[in-house]
């Protein structure tokens, strides 16, 4: 994001101090294209992490001689990392700014990947996922908060999360290829470690001006009050619930689908591992193809339409015991749920006061996305007792829950800050 120093320089360049551009001003994509590109790369690197775990579970188990419950603790550690970053994000950003926060996040993610590649004892292996979760959470929060300030944000958010999807497509392909051809499946994390180093350097270079300085002066003093205002805003918690369930559904499906097809459909792990890429491919294509369609016909209406279609695909996957049909169903499922995340972030900016955008987006992008770790853990814990077939009712429940939270999201203009009068709101609008 543009720092206070950059704002002052821009004001001087235009011939005066009369009106400095606000941090929240909409920016032309052309002006900040270098930052857009590097943030997209950072989110792609996150996708490389998130989508590989599920494919590697059949190989992690025999290596460490553990059951599904122990495997699921990977997701619990990941969730803990997301949760810590969620509450720390506003305070870290108030001191380091967007550039400093994303660079810190990239470095922490890189540390986690390096630990996994080192093939450590299982407790340290789990701890590594705490670091990857925290690192990705910092980057995710700042990337979304930055992109929302770019003109035509709904489109750029779709692109950002489609690039994440590209990472999730590539990850299962590479991870499955390595794991199926060599017992050293952890070599995959050498690749993500190298990508992480490049990511850290690119972010540091792109945000070099004002790096490790706050976006706006005096934000350290207001960080606590901003967090409090964010935590007491009803809309933020409703959208958090929507994101929490959605992110859970996304990674439960993409992360446990291979284990389900191997255990329940009796598929060959070396072949069905690529079905996970099919899910993420549909997920990515949906974010690009449906972005403008969703915006044109209305985000509220279209999310309900997509939910009904996704639920239909999930039921087909559940009740039709055919691997080819299952592969097609999960592709279409991914296609329809793909747009939910960028659509939810865009709608957040329409119903939450502008002064809370930075804190609210960072908070929901972190806490909401923590569902991507919490629900896979819960699924694994339940599956260790009842079998992997519990994936299907859990997915149906998550999709229904997503619809319930979406129905409760208030309409634009109905939310204002605590203590703000109706007249104040009318003047601002």
**pLDDT, average across residues 25-38:** 89
pLDDT in tens, 237-260: 999 899 999 988 988 887 788 888
Least-confidence region, from 109-113, 250-254, 393-397: 250-254
- Cβ(280)–Cβ(165) below 8 Å: yes
pLDDT in tens, 66-75: 888 888 889 8
- Give 290 or 22, the one with higher predicted confidence: 290
Report long-range pairs for 22-26 (Cβ below 8 Å, ≥24 apart). 23/149, 23/215, 23/216, 23/358, 24/149, 24/354, 24/355, 24/357, 25/149, 26/149, 26/150, 26/151, 26/153
Q: How far apart are CA 34 and CA 422, in angstroms?
A: 40
Most confident of 21-25, 74-78, 107-111, 370-374: 107-111
- Cβ(389)–Cβ(260) below 8 Å: yes
**pLDDT, average across residues 208-223:** 70
pLDDT in tens, 396-424: 999 999 999 999 988 764 444 443 443 34
Residue 425 binned pLDDT confidence (cut-offs 50, 70, 90): very low
The residues, any chain, with a CB within 8 Å of residue 202's CB and separated by 6 or more, are 38, 41, 42
- The first and second tokens of residue 319, run together, are 């009740």
Helix (H) or strand (E) holding 68: helix 68-117
Residue 291 binned pLDDT confidence (cut-offs 50, 70, 90): confident
**How many Cα atoms occupy the beta-carbon half-sphere of 87 within 13 Å?**
7
Residue 292's pLDDT is 85
Most confident of 155-164, 186-195, 218-227, 410-419: 186-195
Confidence (pTM) = 0.77
Q: How far apart are CA 54 and CA 65, in angstroms?
A: 17
Q: Specify which residues 150 forms β-bridges with.
A: 27
- Cβ(358)–Cβ(93) below 8 Å: yes
- The first and second tokens of residue 245, run together, are 């369930």
Least-confidence region, from 199-203, 302-306, 322-326: 322-326
Residue 219's pLDDT is 58
Q: How far apart are CA 188 and CA 206, in angstroms?
A: 27
* Dihedral of the alpha carbons of 316, 317, 321, 323, in degrees to the nearest 10: 130
Sequence ranges of the domains in the chain: 28-415
Specify whether domain 28-415 bears CATH 1.20.1250.20: yes
Residue 60 has φ and ψ, to the nearest 5°, of: -65, -40
For the cut 60, the answer to whether the pLDDT of residue 20 exceeds it is no
pLDDT in tens, 124-169: 999 999 999 999 999 998 998 899 888 888 888 888 988 988 898 8
Q: Specify which residues 27 forms β-bridges with.
A: 150
What CA–CA distances, in Å, run from 427 to 347, 348, 415, 420? Answer: 22, 21, 15, 11
3 state SS of 65: coil
What CA–CA distances, in Å, run from 196 to 87, 98, 408? Answer: 24, 18, 39
Q: How far apart are CA 256 and CA 259, in angstroms?
A: 5
For the cut 70, the answer to whether the pLDDT of residue 12 exceeds it is no
What secondary structure letter does DSSP report for 186?
G
| Average pLDDT for the chain | 83
Q: How far apart are CA 30 and CA 52, in angstroms?
A: 33
**pLDDT, average across residues 274-287:** 85
């Amino acid at each position: 994001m543009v720092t206070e120093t950059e704002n002052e320089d821009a004001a001087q360049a235009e011939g005066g101090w009369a009106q400095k551009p606000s941090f929240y001003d909409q920016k032309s994509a052309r002006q900040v294209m270098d930052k857009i590109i590097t943030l997209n790369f950072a989110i792609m690197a996150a996708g490389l992490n998130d989508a590989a775990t599920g494919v590697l579970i059949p190989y992690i188990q025999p290596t460490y001689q553990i059951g599904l419950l122990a495997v699921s603790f990977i997701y619990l550690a990941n969730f803990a990392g997301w949760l810590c970053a969620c509450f720390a994000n506003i305070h870290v950003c108030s001191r380091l700014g967007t550039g400093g926060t994303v660079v810190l996040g990239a470095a922490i993610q890189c540390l986690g990947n390096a630990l996994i590649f080192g093939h450590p004892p299982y407790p340290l292996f789990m701890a590594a996922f705490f670091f990857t979760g925290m690192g990705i959470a910092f980057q995710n929060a700042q990337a979304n908060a930055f992109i929302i300030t770019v003109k035509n944000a709904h489109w750029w958010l779709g692109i950002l999360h489609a690039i994440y999807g590209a990472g999730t497509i590539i990850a299962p392909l590479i991870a499955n290829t390595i794991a199926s051809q060599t017992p050293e499946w952890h070599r995959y994390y050498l690749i993500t470690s190298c990508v992480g180093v490049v990511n850290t350097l690119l972010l540091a270079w792109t945000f070099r001006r004002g790096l490790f300085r706050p976006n706006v002066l005096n934000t350290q003093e207001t960080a606590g009050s901003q967090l409090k205002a964010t935590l007491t805003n009803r809309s933020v918690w409703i959208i958090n619930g929507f994101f929490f369930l959605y992110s859970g559904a996304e990674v439960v499906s993409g992360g446990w689908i291979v284990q389900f097809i191997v255990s329940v459909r009796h598929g060959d792990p070396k072949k069905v591992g690529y079905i996970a890429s099919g899910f993420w491919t549909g997920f990515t294509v949906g974010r690009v193809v449906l972005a403008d369609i969703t915006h044109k016909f209305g985000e509220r209406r279209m999310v309900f339409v997509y939910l009904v279609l996704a639920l239909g695909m999930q039921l087909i996957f559940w009740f039709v015991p055919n691997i080819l049909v299952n592969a097609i169903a999960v592709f279409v499922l991914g296609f329809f749920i793909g747009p939910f995340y960028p659509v939810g972030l865009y709608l957040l900016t329409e119903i939450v006061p502008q002064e809370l955008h930075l804190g609210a987006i960072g908070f929901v992008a972190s806490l909401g996305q923590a569902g991507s770790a919490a629900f896979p853990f819960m699924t694994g814990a339940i599956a260790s007792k009842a079998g992997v077939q519990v994936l299907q009712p859990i997915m149906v429940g998550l999709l229904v829950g997503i619809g319930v939270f979406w129905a409760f999201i208030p309409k634009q203009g109905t939310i204002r800050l605590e203590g703000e009068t109706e007249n104040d709101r009318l003047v601002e609008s």
